Structure 1
Amino acid sequence: MNNLVLLIGNDINNISGGQSWKDLLQDIIAFCHAGDCIDLDEKKPFPLLYEEIFLTASKREKIREKDLKSFIAIKTAEIKGNEIHQAIRALKPAHILTTNYEFTLEGSIPLENTSLIKEKFYSIFRRYKMHDIHYWHIHGDCLNPMSINLGFEHYGGQLQLMRNYVVSGTFYTSKDVPKASLLRRIHARQVHYHSWIDLFFTHDIHIFGLSLDFVETDLWWLLTYRARQKFHHKNVPVNHDIYYYIPEEYLAASKFKLDLLAANDVTIVSLPGKDKLAYYKAILEHISKFK
């Protein structure tokens, strides 16, 4: 049985060309009529920059966030797939986690939402299934624009629900959602993969195409909490590995981040990255050996 679990970010989309993330940011500013007052200083963390853009537009234009996120959903849905998306599907992993909002990884818009519950805003259980692969859109998806996770407030709400799910237990009204925390369920050997979060404590995970900037507070918290369980609290067994793939040309400039990942029990795998297409093919070849 193939138990591969992949966590994939937006960089694989850059092979397709077309609209970049910077292009999308400019489109968002133009849509909000905020170009005359937004300073795109690189020192601004993106979730807070998003809040600046939205709040400025909200004060001046009375724009609704629903309209803004619907616009973003339309723009990201225009991203085209490429041969790396196809190669990932051909690998036939059991689970694909992604921070991407569009469905290029699936290859088409999924017809079946297999989430434990239907979430409007946050993405603890957001799952689709196609061709025996479970796709978890952990930062929202284009079919549900308000679920698209961009702003600081949204990250805060997501993290709150994640910590409840892992540590203290949930408060959902649905009877299908387990009330006991993930830690308690691991102790009781009752883990049924209701959420993508379960996989971080039960499976090897291969992370690529994801910069893992520090603004990804939800993922950094999860990595940190998992490492604390393994080395400090030791309340539950943590016996699986996490691999982070990075172009070898970025090793020196990214040392500060790689040091932090290593402290959080993440194994760094570097491969030649000057040719982006060849780089991702090499990653998939490396991962295929874990099948």
Structure 2
Amino acid sequence: MTVLKHGSTGSAVLQLQHKLNAAGAKLFPDGHYGPLTEQAVRTYQLRAGLVADGIAGPSTLRALGGGDCCRLLQNNAVLAAATRLGADVAAIYAVTEVESLGEGFLSNGKPKILFERHVMHQRLSLQRHESDDAAALKAHADELATLYPNLVNPRAGGYAGGTAEHQRLAQACMIDALCAPESASWGTFQIMGYHAERLGYASIDDFTQRMAKDENEHFEAFIRFIEADPALHKALKAKRWTEFARRYNGPAYARNLYDVKLARAYQRYQEQTAEVPA
């Protein structure tokens, strides 16, 4: 995934500068992604309706190359989310950058997913009704794990990546059509399917159908996820990045420096916010 941003250098930046000039910018093409190139990117993003983060990621590069932008996350959605959540616009830009995959769809048009076989095991073992026999459910899940260890397993793993994850999901749906989509993370922000009803979707089918539409739906799921966790929402509003990262990314947040990345991104966007029309 190509991502060009402030400080980047080389032929890819030079090509970017030429494309920006073709779109109306007046840069001196020098192959250095400095403040003027960053501002030119942000100006182009605003004109195209894209998230105005000043970073030339896959979406911006696709748009500059004449690609279809109809399914990309829109800047207006980010600004509306800041009002909805009562958070700084810079904070929303920061979490959108750090917690997203950059692109929410695969080359074949399907939403990015990651099928989690250990979650499939958990969902198959879940008592959904009072009459359910917990021991029988667990035994059935364990039996399926023996037969199909790549699809049902107490341990995480077995990832194939890309379009192959949809093949794994399709195979899992043949085992259980409800548990399978619940056991995958969906879209730009990788929201797990089992959260669907808690986030206000009518059903898992409603959720997956919306995830297949566009990145704005992915962003909506992300915002709902924040709203559904009062402590996470509070941490975002207060810019307590360690707490936000711990609650959103889990125990591995520190090893992956999510809190540091969020703090740095927020500082950068805070400096830029005055330049971005509300």
The structure carrying a bigger helix percent of its residues is 2
The structure carrying a bigger strand percent of its residues is 1
TM-score, normalisation: structure 2: 0.28
TM-score, normalisation: structure 1: 0.27
Rg larger in structure: 2
Larger relative contact order (Cα-Cα within 8 Å, sequence gap ≥ 6) = 1
